[in-house]
Structure 1
Amino acid sequence: MSNPLLKSFDTPFQTAPFSKIKNKHFKPAFIEGIKLAKLEIDAITNNSEAPSFKNTIEALDFSGQTLDRISSIFFNLNSAETNDEIQKIAQEVSPMLSEFANDITLDEKLFKRIKTVYKKKDELNLTTEQDTLLTKKYKSFVRNGANLNEVDKTELRKIDSELSKLKLTFGENVLAETNAYELHLTNEDDLKGLPESAIEAAKMVAKQKNKDGWVFTLDYPSYIPFLTYADNRNLRKTMALAFGAKAFQNNENDNQQIILDLVKLRYKRANLLGYKTHAHFVLEERMAESPETVTNFLNDLLPKAKPAAEKEFKQLEALAKKDGVETLQKWDSAYYSEKLKKQLFDLDQEQLKPYFKLENVIEGVFTISNKLFDLVFEEINTIDKYHEDVKTYKVTDTFGNYIAILYADFFPREGKRNGAWMTSFKNQWIKDGENSRPHISIVCNFTKPTETKPSLLTFNEVTTLFHEFGHALHGMLANTTYPSLSGTNVFWDFVELPSQLLENWCYEKEALSLFAKHFETKELIPMDFITKIKKSSNFLEGMQTLRQLSFGILDLDWHGKNPSTITNVKEFETNSFKGTQLFPEVEENCMSTSFSHIFQGGYSSGYYSYKWAEVLDADAFEAFLENGIFDKGIALKFKTNILEKGGTEKPMKLYENFRGKKPTNNALLKRAGLLK
């Protein structure tokens, strides 16, 4: 069988030939890819020349590129366009990949060569990037078992294989639960309060399912408007309970045992490698460096956020009491928040949506990227897509130099997990004098166009698009020699800086006036709307901060302690949330069972990094505010010191090179209105 995944991609810009790739190609491609990668490793270990940076460290970083390409295509599809067959293949190939990763890190001959080079690193006259790569490779081997005895190495392999399967199953269960639920309404009275756009979207879903009336789902564009606007409190409760009960229903998609197995295996693995807990293992390679630092960071913000959160909660309670609601529940939160926002700022999401047509917002983020970083985006239809919804762009600079390929996938569908993320189909690197450019993708779940209206975004969705685009800039502008240090391959608590920084432009008049135009009249968003957006930018910031802190604390509770005595997931979570809880406990719900960031994604022991990066982004944006939000000098400093540099140097050093100083909490607290 001819396998397109194993040939060089004879396509424009060597992009993935999606239309030629069939599910049957993946497993054979993985088997062959692993075989090819092993041959490259053998060539390094059997090299008769003395180990050097070039023949060992550099050779290792450029090895396995066929396998990397297959993996990125496959696992990106498993997130954005999956089906039963792909999920089955994922379960089969994940243990193979974790076994192969172990084959490398537990290869004594290979480690011996790396160690030899590492020991004489001070004599090698390396560049900063080379020094970082050498240190990273050496530490990666040590941190993943290279110094273990044979018995422990076998145990490590077993743990890693199990973990790879458990993480996949966790995600599959969350997706299955999301897809399984629908709220089917046939009585028009039940729609009271809902905006026309949400009703029309629900009608369209019902039609697709051959049903009368309206169907609401747990996909964000359906779920969030329902919780925000539906006057029928019982139905809001029904939806909220369904959302909060994902993978917590003692059915075949239940994640409770999976969580217990995951955290215990992670702890066991950390112990095996000489670390106190999984959090100690993970955080050694983060800006924070230890669980103690993270705990102090969260505990420092908690007393500043909690009084503000309690005050805001009381405001919501008072508003709900006027409607006869005695006890404010979780399913009342979005509904009364929206009412309160309208009361305080005379601002409502539905008023804003006509000014945020998706195509205009995309154009806006492109224009802002052009003004800041001299990028030009041209939609092209000459490259393959994995789904007809996907848009593809060729990215160049203002001189016409090719920078990157960008894929953008905006709407929910059955084979796609909830949320929003940035990823890559190909990293950037420099080899043999050629700067090989990246293929970057952003994936979101925004409100779909209906029969009468284009896709109109909520302001929340606008900031989400800017957030993911900030990550994309980090990937697209990468300019490093080595693939493993390129783009977003940085410390996890640094990776959110570019994404969170770009969100700031959504609140600035100068930026909004570039793209916020009414989809019908083309009229620019009224100035008083911009003033209201700005004024409301830290609306309920206390509650938002408390919520983020609660997730960070829960993550650290799962991963920063010995989990061997935990038997009840719900009970454990309830205890963890005690210090941050505002709403009454809901017995039927459990957040952990669908907390994909930490149990499926890469955020275990790292959820705090959203808040951590907010400190950096608030401090970084101050530089733009002081000099002008489109100041070319500041933008160039950010581009050359942060976006282009990837993981080539310690993040704090890169940040100080950009800012000229270390960040402080002050800018964040000031922006959030939490500074006394």
Structure 2
Amino acid sequence: MQPSFARRMASRTLWRQRSFLSTLSRSTTNQNYVCNDCLRKSRRIGARYLHQGVTPTPSIDHRPISHPAAVNSTSIDKHDDALLRSIFDSPDAYKSFSSRTPKPHTGLFQNRFLTTPNGFIIFANSCLKKARRVVDRVSRATSQEDHIRIIKDLDRLSDLLCRVLDLSDFIRNTHPDQNFVIAADQAFQSVYEYMNVLNTTTDLYTSLKSAMFNPVVVGHWDEVSKSVGRTLLADFEKSGINLPDRSKQRFVSLSSDIARLGRDFVNAASTANPYITFKKDQLNGMQPWTINSLSRITNSGIVYLPVRGPVAHHALQTVKDDEVRYKIWKEQQTASKQQINFLENLLKKRAELARLVGRESHSAVTLADKMARSPEAVTTFLHSMLSHTRPLADKELTALRAQKSKLHNIQNPTVYAFEKDFYLHQVVEQEKRLLGDPDISSYFSLGTVMQGLSRLFTNLYGIRLVPRETAPGEIWNDDVRRLDVISDTEGHIAVVYCDLFQRDGKNPNPAHFTVRCSRAIDEEEIIEERLEEGGSDGMATARNQEGVLYQLPTIALICDFSTPPGSSTPLLGFNEVTTLFHEMGHAIHSIIGRTRFHEVAGTRCPTDFAEFPSILMEHFARAPEVLGLFARHYKTDAPLPQGLLQKRVKIGKLMEHSETYQQVLLALLDQELHSEKALDKKFDSTEVYRRLERAYGLLPLKEGEEGGSWQGYFTHLFGYGGLYYSYMLDKAIADKVWKEVFVGDPISRDAGERYKEEVLRWGGE
């Protein structure tokens, strides 16, 4: 169980969710189980890392996808639209744009405190000072007026803590300067410790409870205020507020231990052995230049092959020697003992914390306020999905068996788990030859995709993405682009920082971070900020149509897109296009979910609903009508032929059901590991993993193989503990909404307005 006072901090990776009551409470295909985002990341069909040059676009005589004009087009809109493409496609264009107007030096995200690493400590202390004043006011609440404003006060308290926690968490995971990383971590830890104390502060709970059970006070609240109040009250009770003092101290201690172990588990994920050695001639089948490019080839002809990453994946796909591939696969399945210890200690402490607050398991605690409600409901749902998906997955695997039979001239062969990548690669290459190698990345330069997202949002919601120059100190790397989100009716409504380019040392996993949520700022708070030394933190704010001042959602998108050799224009594979649409789905939830309360803004919703907007965006990425808004060849500007798209989509769906089935197994593993079994003296996470693999695995293990300890790499167990089923549940919801609302006219303003008004604008309300 995570501590829970500021309800829920969404730092997507969205898999990093906690709550002040939930704050004050949030891989690769050569592994058995991977999340869909990581799958997309790994499927850069070796070429992006391993081949030299760019595959030429095949000549296909097909009808091009039609390109409707964007709505509400003005000369300014057209300028912004063209600029959006150029700054992502051309480094020179961005350099020229960003240097047009000299700007004064500022801090990260224009936060006036964050000009130096030490500014994080000053920023944290400033927010803690304000937070303590709010705590004192709520704790001393006696009058009716005090109780009427208590929801607003607690929401501000949540926001003050999350301002530091969300921003610091992002910087400590992203910033290239270790001095900033260390300072951000210190700021995070200081606020996190204070938050843990607040989780068990009885005076806050007593004041809130008094307000919630006073009919006169409640009569002054609207439905959203009542809902936020109920949530805060439930979160306090879930966090052991009624425990004896000694147990409260244990709660705080366990919460801190869980946070530390979780970070260690995520940061230390590695195989037991980072390299495996082979003679060069044992790697027959791999691209020769790939072998020669390895930096640790000795004069004796021994190759040090990294166990994880694109080179290892390429080896599993192409090396002809079964024993070599098996050795690589075996090493990939074996997590280090240290990593397993981190995981099992984390699981045991979560289970202990759950027992401390009267629940049988961590999963039971986590699910109590989610859509699924209970571990039993989740398990029933997952087993239902297994039964539905298994026959479809088995049918897909017949292609692998057929390929093995063809290559080795044997009847009804068994394909083992370690052989999957090899035979799947053969099947994919065969399909590409039959279909004419439908590479469509030339139609998806990063600039055109960003342009397409803006045009889609203009059609659906009347908002657009506008490039904005950054000030010195505002961004953490020169590759970062800032976009302001502009509404036709409300003006400036959000800020998005796009860190999308590949670079050394960068975490390659795609992610969405909410650095700061939307929230209404009342006049009393404005006056208070003016009286503070130096004023507010300086981050973006704007007034809405009613004149209410809002702090604007501030979002960071992280991807790892590469540029082809010899080119300055990044070209995206179709899986990468889908990934960018997915992450932007989280962003649009934050952008449009501009609620009065921080507690329910944007992605601060039940975790098993948070993936719905992002998965729905994947449907848009595959719709011809949407692709018609932007998909053009980066050199010739020719539109993407429909036939070429259909061929690429066909290849992408070769193992669609098998991937879904693996996701379900991953979610079952998550439930098993977060059950009450974690407190058993003989608890063994490796045995849990192997038992599931034996019972439900799609492909058998090699004879005599006992299985691996891959769960040690399943880092989502920390952020999504007990909630990994969310992706499957939200996929079912997204599929249904797509069919009932958008099929037929996916760029319809009527459909977009309906979805915006009925879902997005409410955030987590």
The two structures share one fold, judged by TM-score above 0.5: yes
Matching residue of 1:654 = none
Alpha-carbon deviation of 1:529? Answer: 1.6
1:409 — aligned with what?
Answer: 499
- 2:483 paired residue number: 393
Aligned to 1:371: 459
CA distance in 2, matches of 1:349, 1:285: 48
Aligned: 1:539 with 2:658: no
**More helix by percentage:** 1
Retained in 1: the 8 A contact 2:512–2:558? yes
CA gap of 1:527–1:146, structure 2 versus 1, over 3 A, is same
Q: Residue 643 of structure 1: CA displacement?
A: 1.1
- What is the distance in 2 between the residues matched to 1:234 and 1:455? 37
Q: Report if aligned partners of 2:148, 2:221 keep a CA contact under 8 Å in 1.
A: no
The 8 Å contact of residues 547 and 580 in structure 1, kept in 2 or not, is answered as no
User: Which is further off, 67-76 or 236-245?
Assistant: 236-245
2 CA distance for matches of 1:217 and 1:518? 36
Q: Is 2:759 the counterpart of 1:642?
A: yes
| Structure of greater relative contact order (alpha carbons < 8 Å, 6+ residues apart) | 2
Deviations 1:236-288 (A, max 9, x none): 6566555444xx223xxx21111111111111111111111111110011100
Deviation of residue 403 (structure 1)?
1.6
Alpha-carbon distance change, 213 to 42 in structure 1, aligned in 2, over 3 angstroms: farther
Is the CA contact (8 Å cut-off) linking 2:519 and 2:552 kept in structure 1?
A: yes
SS at match of 1:323: helix
Partner in structure 2 of residue 283 of structure 1 = 367
Query: Are 1:41 and 2:168 counterparts?
Result: no
Deviates more, 1:506-515 or 1:164-173: 506-515
The residue that corresponds to 1:476 in the other structure is 591
Relative to structure 1, the CA distance from residue 646 to residue 219 in structure 2 (aligned partners, 3 Å threshold; closer, same or farther) is: farther
For residue 612 of structure 2, give the secondary structure of its aligned residue in structure 1. helix
Contact 2:139 2:207 in 1 (8 A): yes
Which of 358, 367, 377 is equivalent to 1:293? 377
**8 Å contact 1:220–1:419 — kept in the other structure?**
no
In structure 1, the residue corresponding to 2:454 is in which secondary structure? helix
Change beyond 3 A, Cα 1:385–1:178: farther
Which one is further off, 284-293 or 331-340? 331-340
1:97-153, Cα deviation, whole Å (9 max, x unpaired): 443123212112111110011113585253221111111111111111111111211
TM-fit CA distance, 1:18? 9.2
Query: What is the CA-CA distance between 1:597 and the residue it aligns to?
Result: 1.2
Match of 1:135 in 2: 230
Segment of structure 1 superposing worse, 95-104 or 144-153: 95-104
Q: C-alpha deviations, 1:473-520, integer Å up to 9, x for none?
A: 001112211011100000011101100001012222222233333334
Q: Hey, what does 2:470 align to over in structure 1?
A: 382
Q: Deviation per CA, 1:385-420, whole angstroms, max 9, x where unpaired?
A: 112222211110235711211111224445443422
Letter in 1 for 2:687: E
Which piece of structure 1 moves more, 570-579 or 422-431?
570-579
What's the counterpart of residue 420 of structure 1?
Answer: 510
Give the partner amino acid of 1:645: W
Determine whether 1:311 maps to 2:430: no
Which deviates the most, 272-281 or 620-629? Answer: 620-629
Q: CA deviation at 1:206?
A: 5.8
Q: For the residues of structure 1 that align with 2:695 and 2:632, how far apart are their CA atoms?
A: 43
Amino acid at match of 1:141: F
Return 235-244 or 609-618, whichever deviates more: 235-244
Q: Residue 499 in 1 paired to residue 589 in 2?
A: no
Q: How many residues align?
A: 623
Q: Is the 8 A contact 1:279 1:560 kept in 2?
A: yes
Partner of 1:113: 207
- Per mean C-alpha deviation after superposition, the further-off stretch among 219-228 and 639-648 is 219-228
1:575 to 691, 695, 705: 691
Can you list the C-alpha shifts for 1:605-651, whole angstroms capped at 9, x where unaligned?
10001000011000000024444111211111111121110111xxx
CA positional deviation for 1:87: 6.3
Indicate conservation of the 8 Å contact 1:350/1:458, yes or no.
Answer: no
**Match of residue 670 from structure 1:** none
Alignment match, 1:6: none
In structure 2, the CA distance between the partners of 1:162 and 1:426, relative to structure 1 (3 Å rule), is same
Look up the SS of the partner of 1:255 in the other structure. Answer: helix
The residue matched to 1:410 in structure 2 has which SS? strand
SS across alignment from 1:23: coil
Give the alignment partner of residue 450 of structure 1, picking from 562, 565, 570. Answer: 565
User: 1:267 matched to which residue of 2?
Assistant: 351
Aligned residue identity for 1:129: V
Amino acid at match of 2:520: I
1:336 aligns with 2:423: yes
1:641-660 to 2 correspondences below 5 Å: 641-648=758-765
Of the structure 1 ranges 93-102 and 437-446, higher mean CA displacement relative to structure 2 is found in 93-102
What is the alpha-carbon distance in structure 2 between the residues aligned to residue 220 and residue 128 of structure 1?
50
CA–CA separation in structure 2 for the residues paired with 1:15 and 1:472: 16
Q: How does 1:585-604 map to 2 (within 5 A)?
A: 585=701, 589-599=708-718, 601=719, 603-604=720-721
Distance 2:722 2:445 in 1: 37
Q: How does 1:206-245 map to 2 (within 5 A)?
A: 227=316, 240-241=329-330, 243-245=332-334
Partners of 1:277 and 1:561 within 8 A in 2: yes
Q: What letter corresponds to residue 491 of structure 1 in structure 2?
A: P
CA distance in 1 between partners of 2:329 and 2:462 (Å): 44
Deviation digits for residues 36-93 of structure 1 (CA, Å, limit 9, x no counterpart): 3223211221245347554322111112645422322221022223676666667756
Q: Residues 141-166 of structure 1: CA distance to partner in whole angstroms, max 9, x if unpaired?
A: 11111111112111111111111110
C-alpha contact 1:410 1:446 (8 A) present in aligned 2: yes
Task: Find the residue that maps to 2:512 and give its secondary structure.
Answer: strand
Label 1:152 to 1:239 Cα distance change in 2 as closer, same or farther (>3 A). same
Return 354-363 or 498-507, whichever deviates more: 354-363
Distance 1:222-1:116 versus aligned 2 partners, 3 A rule: farther
State the alpha-carbon separation in 2 of the partners of residues 450 and 587 from structure 1: 43
Paired AA for residue 596 in structure 1: T
Asked if 1:356 is matched to 2:432, the reply is: no
Aligned-pair CA distance for 1:179 = 13
Separation in 2 of the partners of 1:637 and 1:195? 55
Q: Does the Cα contact within 8 Å between 1:479 and 1:486 map onto a contact in 2?
A: yes
Q: Distance in 2 between matches of 1:549 and 1:357?
A: 33
Mark the structure with the bigger radius of gyration.
Answer: 2
Structure 1: which 5+ runs fail to align? 1-9, 649-676
How far the C-alpha of 1:27 sits from its partner, in A, is 4.2
Paired position in structure 1 for 2:250:
155
Whole-Å Cα distance in 1 between the matches of residues 310 and 475 of structure 2? 23
CA 1:609–1:238 in structure 2 vs 1: closer, same or farther (change >3 Å)?
same
